[in-house]
Amino acid sequence: MTDVLRRGRASLAFAFLVQGVAFALLVTRIPAIQNRYGVSDALLPAFLAAVPVLAGIGSVATERLVKVVPPSRVLRWSQPVVLLALLGVGAGEHMAGLAVALAVFGLAVGALDASMNMLGVSLQRAYGRSIMLSFHAAYSLGGIAGASLAWVGAHWQLALWVSYLPVVLVLMPAVLIGSRWYVDQEQREDQGTGRRQDHVAGPAAESVDRAGSVAFKLLLPLCLVMTVAYIGDSTVSNWSAKYLQDVLGSSEQMATVPYNVYMVTTLLGRTIGDFGVRRFGAVAVVRAGALVAAVGFAVVSGAPGEWVGMLGFTLLGLGLCVLVPQTFAAAGRLFPGASDAAVARLNVFNYVGFLIGSPLVGVLGDVWGYRGAMLVPMVMVLVTLVHARSFAPEADRYGGGHERPHAADVGRGSHGL
């Protein structure tokens, strides 16, 4: 493997880590943001919902943007914008300023998420083996770091801008320097690493029709899995503390533990997940992840006390962590001639799941109780089992053979069309 690809992988992993830090610093300080700007409880959901909605718009716009500029350039400039918008959230004084900062944050995050995963899918194809989970492991590590920094700021009662400014000052130049080594298809070809284009035949050929367009019907199973994965993730992030305290009778301090455990087990699962994919295949790993996550929701729903509840959230971290990275990777395999467009469209369902998950559990919790509400995402995550074959390498999906071990070029399929 060439130094170009190694540097590209390391720099992209760092971009994922920085994004994890930035997002955690925002979402873990929502109460402080609400207090700073005097946002009412009634208005807060509108502000929070606006971010994923605008992120979805940013992801769709990125699909069009990468037809004229490489994903590396989109990532290079969207990440500093995210960091500056985060600082704007912490430094503003009026609600209008908060609205503008969150709008910029949402649009930039959509472009950032889409372009990061475009490059990740492309690099995985170039490596010829599973590495996508390692990028998302870096994101999880960044989330843990960001949540820890947020705890420090809250513990010392620092103003938001005081908490955010040192992070931005350190990470901004770091990501700009690291962006020098992002790798696009053309750069790999210039270095002699992109030797061939995957042959696409049979049903797979129909997925890239009319000059590389993406057939949404073939992408739909992956969109459903992405939505379900983020419904599960948002359930943990938004309801784990309340569930442990209100349903299982834990202390307020103990109620903060499940999400931290979830993040740590997500990191561990993603760190070793690529080895599992290489050894057993993506289909087996996705099926195992869905089953473990379903068991996790069942344990949470039936937990007699806080410790069993925390075991359930631990299982959720181990199960859900593999679904999102493998869904992006599967989109790259399914649409080898239009992977950028497929990733951008698939990324929108990240935000759809986030928007659905939290209010869904809240409404069902009021109607059935929160134990019953936890069974709904359990059933949803089992839908992944129905669509597990969509995660197979193309040769397996359409008959015979296995994923080729040599480096293959995925290309920015929407370019040069």
224 shares a domain with 91:
no
Average pLDDT score over residue span 389-404:
58
Q: Is residue 170 part of a domain?
A: yes
| Contact status, residue 183 vs residue 5, Cβ threshold 8 Å | yes
Q: Give the DSSP letter of residue 245.
A: I
Q: Is residue 189 part of a domain?
A: no
52 shares a domain with 123:
yes
Q: What is the pLDDT of residue 1?
A: 56
Q: Is residue 195 part of a domain?
A: no
pLDDT category of residue 164 using cuts at 50, 70 and 90? very high
Average pLDDT score over residue span 387-411:
55
Q: In this structure, what CATH number is given to the domain that contains residue 36?
A: 1.20.1250.20
249 shares a domain with 159:
no
What are 68-99's pLDDT values in tens digits? 999 999 999 999 999 999 999 999 989 999 99
Helix (H) or strand (E) holding 145: helix 132-155
Share of residues in the chain with pLDDT > 90 (%): 65
Neighbour-count burial of 60, counting CB atoms closer than 10 A to its CB (0-12 exposed, 13-18 middle, 19+ buried): middle
Among 107, 323, 348, 324, which Cα is nearest to 214's?
A: 348
Average pLDDT score over residue span 354-376:
90
Q: What is the pLDDT of residue 416?
A: 36
What are 53-67's pLDDT values in tens digits? 999 999 999 999 999
For the chain, give the mean pLDDT. 86
Q: For residue 28, give its domain range.
A: 1-184
Q: Is residue 411 part of a domain?
A: no
361 shares a domain with 236:
yes
Average pLDDT score over residue span 44-51:
87
265 shares a domain with 179:
no
279 shares a domain with 166:
no
Q: Is residue 412 part of a domain?
A: no
Please say if the pLDDT value at position 203 is more than 60: no
Cα angle 314, 320, 322 (rounded to 5 degrees) comes to 120
Average pLDDT score over residue span 302-319:
94
What gap in Å lies between CA 313 and CA 379, rounded to an integer? 16
138 shares a domain with 94:
yes
Q: What is the pLDDT of residue 409?
A: 38
Q: What is the pLDDT of residue 345?
A: 94
150 shares a domain with 71:
yes
What is the four-CA torsion angle of 233, 265, 288, 245, rounded to 10 degrees?
-50
Average pLDDT score over residue span 206-225:
71
pLDDT category of residue 186 using cuts at 50, 70 and 90? low
Cα angle 28, 32, 37 (rounded to 5 degrees) comes to 130
Cβ–Cβ contacts within 10 Å for residue 294, how many? 23
The full DSSP string for 340-351 is: HHHHHHHHHHHH
Neighbour-count burial of 252, counting CB atoms closer than 10 A to its CB (0-12 exposed, 13-18 middle, 19+ buried): exposed
260 shares a domain with 149:
no
Q: What is the pLDDT of residue 45?
A: 83
Count how many domains the chain has.
Answer: 2
